[in-house]
Structure 1
Amino acid sequence: MAKASNGPLGALNGKLRNLVFYMLNGQPVVRTIGDPGKPSRNQLANRQAMSVTMGLVSGITDFTSVSFELEAKGTVRNAHNLATSYIKKLALKGEYPNISVDYSKVILSNGSLPCAVDLKIEKKEKGVLLSWDAAGSDDDIVMILLCHPLKKRATSCINAGRRDAGSYFIGLGEDYLDEPIEAYICFRAADGKAISNSAYVGNLNGEMKSPEKLEQNKKYQLLKQRFDVVSADYLQQLKDNFGQRVDSKAFRSLEKEYEVLKDKLENLPGKPG
Structure 2
Amino acid sequence: MAICKVGPFGHPSGKIGNTVFYMLKGQAVCRSNGKLGKVSLKQKANRQEMSVTMELLKPLKDFINVSFKLESEGTVKNPHNLATSYNKKQALTGEYPNIKVDYNKVVLSRGTLEMATDLSVSKGRDGLNLTWDPGISDNGGSDDILLVAVSHPAKKRASTFLNAGKREDGRCFIPLDKDWMMGQQMEVYLCFKSANEELISDSFYVGNLNGVPDSQEERTEKAKYQAVKTRFDQVAVDYEKKRMDYAEGVIGTKAFRCLEKEYQVLRDKLEHLPGKPF
TM-score (norm 1): 0.72
After TM superposition, the structure 1 = structure 2 runs for residues 64-79 of structure 1, keeping only pairs within 5 Å, are 64-79=64-79
Give the aligned residue type for 1:103.
Y
After TM superposition, the structure 1 = structure 2 runs for residues 175-186 of structure 1, keeping only pairs within 5 Å, are 175-186=180-191
Q: How far does the alpha carbon of each residue in 1:107-153 deviate from its partner, in whole angstroms, 9 at most, with x for none?
A: 11111211121110111222211111111321111111111110111
The 1:176/1:39 distance shift into structure 2, 3 A limit, reads same
Counterpart residue number, 1:142: 146
Give the aligned residue type for 2:154.
L
8 A Cα contact 1:182 1:204, kept in partner = yes
The 1:112/1:13 distance shift into structure 2, 3 A limit, reads same
8 A Cα contact 1:116 1:199, kept in partner = no
Please state how far the C-alpha of 1:164 moved relative to its aligned partner: 0.7
For structure 1, which segment, 116-125 or 137-146, has the greater mean C-alpha deviation from structure 2 after superposition? 116-125
Match of 1:167 among 166, 171, 176: 171
Q: How far does the alpha carbon of each residue in 1:154-189 deviate from its partner, in whole angstroms, 9 at most, with x for none?
A: 110100111011111112233111111111111111
* 1:82 paired to 2:86: no
Q: How far does the alpha carbon of each residue in 1:208-262 deviate from its partner, in whole angstroms, 9 at most, with x for none?
A: 13xxx4389549988xxxxxxxxxxxxxxxxxxxxxxxxxxxxxxxxxxxxxxxx
Output the CA distance in 2 between the equivalents of 1:215 and 1:112: 40
5+ residue gaps, structure 1, are: 1-8, 223-270
5+ residue gaps, structure 2, are: 1-8, 225-273
Q: How far does the alpha carbon of each residue in 1:67-119 deviate from its partner, in whole angstroms, 9 at most, with x for none?
A: 11111111111111111111111111111111111111111111121112111
After TM superposition, the structure 1 = structure 2 runs for residues 184-203 of structure 1, keeping only pairs within 5 Å, are 184-203=189-208
RMSD between superposed Cα atoms in Å? 2.5
The 1:49/1:220 distance shift into structure 2, 3 A limit, reads farther
Q: Secondary structure at the match of 1:23?
A: strand
Output the CA distance in 1 between the equivalents of 2:222 and 2:184: 25
8 A Cα contact 2:142 2:168, kept in partner = yes
How many residue pairs were aligned?
A: 215
Output the CA distance in 2 between the equivalents of 1:146 and 1:169: 13
8 A Cα contact 2:146 2:162, kept in partner = yes
Counterpart residue number, 1:60: 60
8 A Cα contact 2:55 2:156, kept in partner = yes
Match of 1:214 among 213, 216, 221: 216
Counterpart residue number, 1:23: 23
8 A Cα contact 1:138 1:162, kept in partner = yes
Output the CA distance in 2 between the equivalents of 1:114 and 1:37: 49
Output the CA distance in 2 between the equivalents of 1:184 and 1:216: 26
Q: Secondary structure at the match of 1:59?
A: helix
Higher percent of residues as strand: 2
Please state how far the C-alpha of 1:54 moved relative to its aligned partner: 0.7
The 1:174/1:12 distance shift into structure 2, 3 A limit, reads same
The 1:216/1:36 distance shift into structure 2, 3 A limit, reads farther
Give the aligned residue type for 1:182.
E
Q: Secondary structure at the match of 2:173?
A: strand
Please state how far the C-alpha of 1:27 moved relative to its aligned partner: 2.3
